[in-house]
Structure formats: C-alpha cells, structure tokens
Amino acid sequence: MIDEILPFAFAFASLAVGASIVVPLARAWAKRLEKRADGQIPPEVTARLERMEQAIDSIAVEVERISEGQRYTTKLLSDKARSYSERVE
C-alpha cells in the first residue's frame, strides 16, 4: 500500500517545494519589471500583440467550425444508429 502512495506523496512534495521557489521568484521578477517600466509600450510590441490577437481570433473561429462539424457528424451517426435499430425491431 505504501508503494502505491509513495509516488503521489513524492509528486506532491516536489510540487510544493517547486511552487515555494518559483512563486517568490516570479513575484520579484514582476516587481522588477514594474519598476523598470515607464508606462510606455514600444510600438513593435504593440504590433506584435495585435498580430497575436488576430491569430488567436482566427484560431477560435476555426475551433468553433471544427466543433460544429463534430456536432453535426455525431448527430448524423446518432440518427443513423437510431434508424437502424428501428428497422431491426
């Protein structure tokens, strides 16, 4: 039984230790960036963020299109299975 619990305990302890190290470092890094920033975003960063936003929007549209196709296919297969079971009975 302890052999089954040991990997989970090790993973949890590793996660706790890792989080206790990473979180303060991330906060310190963010504070350093805040102090260094003068409030202005460089134009190349703004342009890149706009391109990323457009790419994310187009990906969202494609994912929605794929999910609609999946719903349609599932409905067709469900209807086909239902009509087959009605013919068998």
Model confidence pLDDT, tens digit, residues 18-66: 888 988 999 999 888 877 766 678 889 999 999 999 999 999 999 999 9
The CA distance from 40 to 52, in Å, is 19
Q: Is the pLDDT of residue 88 over 90?
A: no
Give the per-residue pLDDT at 72: 94
pLDDT given for residue 54 in this prediction: 97
Residue 5 binned pLDDT confidence (cut-offs 50, 70, 90): confident
For residues 75 and 83, what is the distance between their CA atoms, to the nearest angstrom?
12
pLDDT at 12 over 70: yes
Q: Is residue 69 part of a domain?
A: no
Q: Determine the pLDDT at residue 65.
A: 96
Calculate mean pLDDT across residues 72-79: 91
Instruction: Kindly state whether residue 75 falls inside one of the protein's structural domains.
Output: no
If one counts the domains in the chain, the total is 1
pLDDT score, position 83: 78
Q: Please give the structure tokens belonging to residue 55.
A: 């790419």
87: in domain? no
- Rounded to whole angstroms, the Cα distance separating 28 from 26 reads 5
- The residue range of the domain holding 24 is 2-64
